[in-house]
Amino acid sequence: TAEVRDITVAAVRGKEQPFAIEQARIRAPQDDEVRVKIVATGLCHTDLIVRDQYYPVPLPAVLGHEGAGIVEAVGPNVRELKPGDHVVLTYGQCGHCNPCRGGHGAYCRDFFALNFGGDDGHGHTAITDAKGEPLHDHFFAQSSFATYALAREINAIRVPQDAPLELLGPLGCGIQTGAGAVLNSLKVRSGSSFASYGAGAVGLSAVMAAKVAGATTIIAIDVVPSRLELATELGATHVVNSRDVDVIEAVRGITGGGADFALESTGRPDVLSAGIEALAGLGMMGVVGAPKLGTTASFDVNNLLLGGRSIRGIVEGDSVPQVFIPQLVTLYQQGRFPFDRLVKFYPLEQINQAAEDSTKGITLKPILRIA
Ligand code: NAD
Ligand code: ZN
């Protein structure tokens, strides 16, 4: 039976503080939990906004929410997973509220508590630091900036053993978000136009998915030229550097009036407003970029109304992870969703470098190699 384990973690001790590599301990899996030996974990922009306390996750905490690894031990009520299974860890959902039962776990009634609460929901953490003090954890129901992590069976998604496990963690959040927004939420149609505001990890995943969906005009908008170049290689038919040109005019010009579908992943309200302005009639804007809590954005009410336009918030690409993550793996294996082009690997010890490279726009999707 499983015991408490010594682990290494990258912890955030205070707001805007660098990640600190520390020794810690993690308890055995209980109930429907699995303990996973983490092979690699992606670094997502959301880890950094939580480090900087845009969202009030209690500190000190172990973050990390794009973990991939091998099931090491299972709790007594785990039904399907077994030690040795390869899994991608994704967001937490309760599994029994109405949204969860309807296949919309990303809108679980307990989403904030389960993913950002910093404990098991009853005030207990599974991780203690070297002094025996609790470290806040359960971040996205995993806290995978660590050599081992606990997840529930519902958010540990089995993937084929012949897929490159060290690459797959970002399918649990950032990549799933961009691709799912296009394929599941917006339902981008063959022959339609799509504009991606932001060509980061989420935005470029959306570009690749729009190509999979058969969109014939795919516009990537960013301020970093190297990202726009990569967007072209991944399927963008047009790129717009919004530092150089008026983005509304540019998108209207390329599409002949406005985009049928758009996704905002910069987290900037001014970009969101511009994107809504540049929608075609009946066009739909998906919102995934996350600004500070309380941020507002404005739009012209009559432009929205008279054109039948809509704006839709999207969490985690509206996916049923058990279905969608394996689909993305297959698309990747067929060469139709080459998300490996976004990735650069770092050892866990270089997590602060990875964060800096991500913030500066040097690295699109850092993955920390852990085992
Ligand atoms: P990222 O930093 O890689 O991407 C953001 C991109 O926006 C960058 O390429 C940046 O150059 C670009 N940008 C910044 N200012 C711009 C401007 N004025 N005009 C055009 N482009 C501009 O981050 P990411 O990992 O792709 O994540 C994107 C956002 O999505 C973040 O806010 C993240 O927190 C959020 N997110 C949301 C969900 C969800 O479920 N809704 C899931 C994952 C990530
Ligand atoms: Zn729920």
Identify the pLDDT of residue 271.
98
CA distance 209 to 213: 6
Token code pair at residue 273: 């407003």
Identify the pLDDT of residue 2.
77
Name, in order, each residue with C-beta under 8 angstroms of 159's C-beta and a sequence gap of 6 or more: 68, 86, 87, 88, 165, 168, 325, 326, 329
Residues 160 and 276 in one domain: no
The CATH number covering residue 190 comes to 3.40.50.720
Residues 164 and 19 in one domain: yes
* Cα–ligand 1 centroid distance for 292 (angstroms): 13
- Residue 365 Cβ < 6 Å to ligand 1: no
**Is 70 exceeded by the pLDDT of residue 155?**
yes
In a domain, 23, yes or no: yes
Residues 117 and 257 in one domain: no
> How many structural domains compose the chain?
2
Q: Which of 41, 43, 45 to mutate to test the pocket of ligand 1 (most atoms within 8 A of CB)?
A: 45
Atom 14 (ligand 1): residue with closest C-alpha?
266
Atom of ligand 1 nearest to the CA of 203: 26
In a domain, 319, yes or no: no
Q: Which of 46, 53, 339 to mutate to test the pocket of ligand 1 (most atoms within 8 A of CB)?
A: 46
User: What is the percentage of the chain residues whose pLDDT exceeds 90?
Assistant: 97
Average pLDDT of the residues in 114-142: 97
For residue 110, which ligand has an atom nearest its CA?
2
Q: Which residue has the tokens 């990890």?
A: 201
- Structure confidence by residue, pLDDT tens digits, 60-110: 999 999 999 999 999 999 999 999 999 999 999 999 999 999 999 999 999
- Residue 227 Cβ < 6 Å to ligand 1: yes
- State which amino acid sits at residue 32: D
Residues 158 and 30 in one domain: yes
Structural domain that includes position 158? 5-172+338-369
CA distance 225 to 239: 9
Q: Give all strands of the β-sheet with 19-26 in edge-to-edge order.
A: 61-62, 5-12, 19-26, 127-129, 134-135
The CATH number covering residue 146 comes to 3.90.180.10
Least confident residue range of 14-23, 127-136, 288-297: 288-297
Identify the pLDDT of residue 1.
65
Token code pair at residue 17: 């503080």
What is the pLDDT of the chain when averaged over all its residues?
97
Token code pair at residue 24: 């810690």
* DSSP secondary structure, 260-311, as one string: EEEEE-S--HHHHHHHHHTEEEEEEEEE-----TT------HHHHHHTT-EE
**Is 90 exceeded by the pLDDT of residue 128?**
yes
CA distance 310 to 230: 29
* Cα–ligand 2 centroid distance for 79 (angstroms): 19
Interface ipTM above 0.90: yes
Residues 247 and 149 in one domain: no
User: What is the percentage of the chain residues whose pLDDT exceeds 70?
Assistant: 100
The three-point CA angle 200-205-210 to 5° equals 125
Residues 104 and 122 in one domain: yes
Q: Which of 43, 44, 207, 312 to mutate to test the pocket of ligand 1 (most atoms within 8 A of CB)?
A: 44
Identify the pLDDT of residue 343.
97
CA distance 83 to 172: 20
- Structure confidence by residue, pLDDT tens digits, 5-47: 999 999 999 999 999 999 999 999 999 999 999 999 999 999 9
What is the pLDDT confidence band of residue 137, given thresholds at 50, 70 and 90? very high
Identify the pLDDT of residue 35.
98
Strand partners, 69: 38, 87
Residues 61 and 110 in one domain: yes
What is the pLDDT confidence band of residue 224, given thresholds at 50, 70 and 90? very high
Atom 18 (ligand 1): residue with closest C-alpha?
271
Q: Using a CB cutoff of 8 Å and minimum separation of 24, what contacts does 343-352 make? A: 343/167, 343/170, 343/367, 345/40, 345/166, 345/369, 348/8, 348/10, 348/21, 348/145, 349/21, 351/10, 351/19, 351/21, 351/43, 351/145, 352/18, 352/19
- State which amino acid sits at residue 170: P
CA distance 4 to 138: 16
- Residue 321 Cβ < 6 Å to ligand 1: no
In a domain, 290, yes or no: yes
